[in-house]
Amino acid sequence: MEQENFFQPETILMECGHSAICNNKPCCAICSCFNEATTRPNLEGRKAQCSDCGKIVDSSINLPFFKYRPDRKFDSYYCGCEGWD
């Protein structure tokens, strides 16, 4: 039997490629996109690069400010290197 995760709902990927940030209705706070992606990409083997400092990690829709960029070598995210204010 699969265990349910009550603490963190599954992150939704939006049509724009960003992960959804809003809680009530899925939306992208960066692009103001309200359309969910119709498919979920396979991120296995992909890397994401911090848009500020260039740090590279495994791609995950759960990364802060994640953006899936299938046409580029790296997806993007923000690692917090410049703070969260």
Which segments of the chain does DSSP mark as H helices, in order? none
32 token code pair: 């103001």
What's this model's pTM, rounded to 2 decimal places?
Answer: 0.77
Q: Are 66 and 77 in contact (CB under 8 A)?
A: yes
Tens-place pLDDT, residues 11-70: 888 999 988 877 677 888 888 889 999 888 999 999 999 999 999 999 999 999 999 999
65 token code pair: 């400010």
pLDDT in the model for residue 7:
38
* 74 pLDDT tier (thresholds 50, 70, 90): very high
* 3 pLDDT tier (thresholds 50, 70, 90): very low
